[in-house]
Amino acid sequence: MRPFDLVVLDLDGTIINAYERQLISQRVHDTIAAVQVAGVPVTIGSGRTLDYIRHHLPGDLRLAHPVIATQGAVIGDPTTGHVLAEQHLPLDAARAIARYVDDTGFLAAFYFNDADGHTQIVENRLGRNAEETATIHHLLGEPMRIVDLFSPLLAGDDAHPPVKVIAFNREAPGGVDLLHEYERRFVPPLSVTRSHEWLVEATAPGVDKGSGLLRLCEMLHIDPSRVLAIGDSDNDIPMLKAAGFAVAMGNAAPHVKAVADWVAPTIEEDGAAVALQRLVLDAMKAAPSG
C-alpha cells in the first residue's frame, strides 16, 4: 500500500533555490521521478504563476495532476496551461490596494489572468539599478507592462481584478513593514502572507495554499489526510496544516518548522529528496506485500 495518495511540493526554497536562482537539482529531480514511477502522484503548490511553473519545472517529470499556483488562487493543468479554477481579488479591495500603492510609491506587482489563463504581470517601476531590477524580476516575474499608476487599470464597471498583488518590501521607505501595513489595511477582507523575506502577497478572502490544496483534493477525490506536503516559508503554513503529513525544510524558520510533522535537511542538502526517499520510497519498501 502506498503511504500517500498525493505529494505536493513548494517550489522556491524547497526544490528551487530562490536566492541562488538555481534550477531543480538532479537528485531532487530523480527522486520525484522515482516517486511517480512508484505510483504516488506528485504536484506543485506555489506562489508562482501557472506559466512560471510550466516553464521552470522539467518537462520530463510529466506531472499527472493539476498544480496549485499563484498562492492558491489558480489551479491549472501543467501540461496544457488550461486554468481549471481561479479566484480574483474583490474589485473594491484591489482598487484600495492600487490607491495605497499609487499614493505611497511602494514597488508592487499586479497579476492579471487573461482569457487563456496566461498571467500578465504589471509593475509600477524598475529597480534602482540593473542588479536590483534583475532581482525584482526574478522574484516577482518578468513584467508585461510598467505603469506609473495602478488605479487606471481598475477603473470602470467592467474592470478585471487581479488574482494576486505582491508588494516588494526590501528597503521600504521609512522602514515600513508592508506585511503589518497590509494586514492592518486590508485584512479583512483579503488574505495576506509573506512568501519571501522581501515579498508580501495579497489574495482573495480565504485564498492561500491550504485552500488550494483542499480544492485540488476535492477535484481529484483525494482525502487531504492522504497528502504529503513539503514547504519552507510562511505562505506554506496553510498548506502544511491542510495536509495529512507536513514536512518543513531545514532552511525554514522555526515557526514554520513548528507546524510540521518532520523536518527535512535544507535545500542545499536536497532536503526534499531526502524526505521523499524516507517517507515514500523507503516506506513502500518496508510495507508488507499483499
Average pLDDT, the chain: 92
Phi, psi of 119 (to 5 degrees): -95, 125
Give tens-digit pLDDT for 77-98.
999 999 999 999 999 999 999 9
Are 224 and 211 in contact, with CB atoms under 8 Å apart? Answer: no
Give tens-digit pLDDT for 38-87.
999 999 999 999 999 998 888 899 899 999 999 999 999 999 999 999 99
Residue boundaries of the structural domains of the chain: 6-86+207-286, 91-203
Domains 6-86+207-286 and 91-203 share a fold: no
Higher pLDDT, 200 or 176: 200
Which long-range contacts does 277-283 make (Cβ < 8 Å, 24+ apart)? 277/31, 279/3, 279/4, 279/228, 279/245, 279/247, 280/2, 280/3, 280/4, 280/7, 280/35, 280/38, 280/40, 280/228, 281/31, 281/34, 281/35, 281/38, 283/3
DSSP reduced 3-state for 257: helix
Predicted pLDDT at 197: 81
**Is a pLDDT exceeding 60 seen at residue 290?**
no
Are 262 and 279 in contact, with CB atoms under 8 Å apart? Answer: yes
Predicted pLDDT at 245: 99
Phi, psi of 185 (to 5 degrees): -90, -35
Is it true that domain 91-203 has CATH number 1.10.730.10? Answer: no
Q: What is the mean pLDDT of residues 171-181?
A: 71
**Is a pLDDT exceeding 90 seen at residue 289?**
no
Which top CATH class is 6-86+207-286?
alpha beta
Supply the DSSP symbol for 79.
T
With cut-offs at 50, 70 and 90, classify the pLDDT of residue 172. low
Are 263 and 246 in contact, with CB atoms under 8 Å apart? Answer: no
- Model pTM? 0.93
Higher pLDDT, 196 or 237: 237
Predicted pLDDT at 128: 76
